């Protein structure tokens, strides 16, 4: 009975990363990159993964596609719609990438062939997923229409360089959602765009994702943006998840000093003037982080006890947090 229930839960989750640790070997030494990362995305849910550069966001999201660094050793598990990604053979992985998971990257120009027409890009994507050429050609204009591209038939004949960055990212979104995947990985999808275009693209992504019931893992360093669009958010620091909470509660009452510092470092304009406080020190990779709490060198609340071991997760308010004294983290 319990097994059946667990199987049903696994099916409902678009993504379940469970206790994922990952290390590579460089010049004969072990370099740990992720430690005990657990991230869950239910179908239809929007989940944020935030943290400074190098915290492990891309490594985590790419693990859902089975794209790991060369020679990586892992413990823990990654399942997408119940399929074991880390144990999958090449054929299963290919099938998974074709049908169940799509990814949108930061720079659309880097991930689309510049010498092929946009129409070919879209129809090839559909055909790779088993749609006939005739049906693919029929569906392509609708796909572009849905993402707000005017004159879709004309657009299909154009080349990527004839589109602005924002318009090209719309094309990528159309392609990524054309197969109605269960999981969409969006790794900094708007970082290369100006603010207005960013808002339009994020709005479109949300609308499309909700319409298809797709689970989305939204990777960004922008906590304000994540809080605005995500149901839940994971905060990452030095290869670990340090806090998880709903978007609203994380914004209102952060429980980890790092989350609070990230909020203070973002140029939000809620008050009369934006006050931006940079986080002291620089972000660290897991391999160079101190023992105990990785953030303690930069933390204004750090005490000796913070060096004694990695803080275990505990519930505090609406958060699950890896900090010994979250009650001292005032909002
Ligand atoms: N293939 C690899 N081999 C060795 N180290 C790697 C590899 N890929 C990433 N890393 C290291 O792992 C850490 C996390 O990298 P990752 O790309 O996941 O960071 P990120 O949070 O996505 O950062 P950014 O915001 O800059 O994109 C970094 O220290 C990076 O140098
Ligand atoms: Mg990244």
Provide the pLDDT for residue 58. 94
Q: What is the pLDDT of residues 102-131, one digit of tens each?
A: 999 888 888 888 999 999 999 988 887 788
When the pLDDT of each residue in the chain is averaged and rounded to a whole number, the result is 89
285 close to ligand 1 (CB < 6 Angstrom)? yes
Ligand lying nearest the CA atom of residue 186? 2
Give the ligand at the shortest distance from the Cα of 286. Answer: 1
Q: Say which range, 41-50, 161-170, 201-210, 276-285, has the weakest mean pLDDT.
A: 276-285
Q: Is the CB–ligand 1 distance for residue 228 below 6 Å?
A: no
Label residue 281 by pLDDT band (50, 70, 90): confident
Residue nearest to atom 28 of ligand 1 (CA): 54
The percent of residues in the chain predicted with pLDDT above 70, rounded, is: 93
17-42 mean pLDDT: 95
- Per-residue pLDDT reduced to its tens digit, 289-318: 999 999 999 999 999 999 999 999 999 999
Contact (CB, 8 A) for 218 and 184 = no
Interval 188-211 mean pLDDT:
84
Atom 17 in ligand 1: which residue has the minimum CA distance?
58
3-state secondary structure 18-74: EEEEEEEEECCEEEEEEEEEEEEEECCCEEEEECCCCCCHHHHHHHCCCCCCCCCEE
Average pLDDT, integer, range 220-224: 89
Residue 181 token pair = 């995947």
Q: CA 272 to CA 238: how far, in whole Å?
A: 34
Residue among 21, 22, 52, 58 to mutate when testing ligand 1 (max atoms within 8 A of CB) = 58
Residue 2 pLDDT greater than 70, yes or no: no
Q: Which of 25, 33, 217, 225 to mutate to test the pocket of ligand 1 (most atoms within 8 A of CB)?
A: 33
Ligand 1 neighbourhood includes 63 CB (under 6 angstroms) = no
80, pLDDT greater than 90: yes
The count of other CB atoms within 10 Å of the CB of residue 18 is: 13
Instruction: Output the pLDDT for position 265.
Output: 83
The count of other CB atoms within 10 Å of the CB of residue 182 is 25
- Does the structure show a pLDDT above 50 at 4? yes
List helix spans (H) across the chain: 2-12, 57-63, 90-99, 118-128, 133-146, 152-156, 165-177, 195-212, 223-229, 247-252, 257-264
Radius of gyration of the chain (CA): 21
Give the predicted TM-score (pTM) of the model: 0.90
């Amino acid at each position: 009975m319990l097994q059946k229930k667990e199987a049903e839960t696994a099916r409902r989750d678009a993504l379940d990363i469970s206790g994922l640790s990952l290390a590579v070997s460089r010049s004969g030494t072990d370099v740990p990159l992720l430690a005990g990362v657990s991230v869950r995305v239910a179908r239809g849910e929007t989940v944020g993964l935030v943290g400074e550069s190098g915290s492990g966001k891309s490594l985590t999201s790419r693990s859902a596609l089975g794209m790991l660094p060369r020679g990586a050793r892992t413990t823990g598990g990654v399942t997408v719609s119940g399929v074991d990604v880390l144990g999958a053979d090449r054929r299963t992985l290919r099938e998974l990438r074709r049908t169940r998971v799509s990814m949108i990257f930061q720079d659309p120009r880097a991930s689309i062939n510049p010498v092929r027409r946009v129409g070919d890009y879209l129809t090839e994507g559909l055909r790779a997923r088993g749609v006939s050429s005739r049906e693919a050609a029929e569906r392509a204009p609708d796909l572009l229409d849905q993402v707000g591209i005017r004159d879709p038939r004309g657009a299909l004949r154009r080349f990527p360089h004839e589109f602005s960055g924002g318009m090209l990212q719309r094309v990528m979104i159309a392609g990524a959602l054309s197969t109605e995947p269960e999981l969409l990985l969006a790794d900094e999808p708007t970082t290369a765009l100006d603010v207005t275009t960013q808002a339009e693209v994020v709005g479109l992504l949300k609308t499309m994702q909700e319409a298809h019931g797709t689970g989305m893992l939204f990777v960004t360093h922008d906590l304000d943006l994540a809080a605005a669009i995500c149901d839940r958010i994971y905060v990452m620091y030095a290869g670990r998840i340090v806090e998880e909470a709903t978007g609203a509660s994380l914004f209102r009452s952060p429980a980890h000093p790092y989350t609070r510092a990230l909020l203070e470092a973002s140029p939000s304009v809620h008050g009369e003037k934006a006050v931006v406080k940079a986080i002291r020190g620089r972000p660290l990779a897991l391999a160079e982080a101190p023992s105990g709490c990785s953030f303690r060198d930069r933390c204004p609340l750090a005490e000796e006890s913070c060096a004694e071991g990695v803080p275990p997760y505990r519930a505090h308010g609406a958060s699950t947090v890896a900090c010994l004294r979250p009650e001292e983290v005032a909002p």
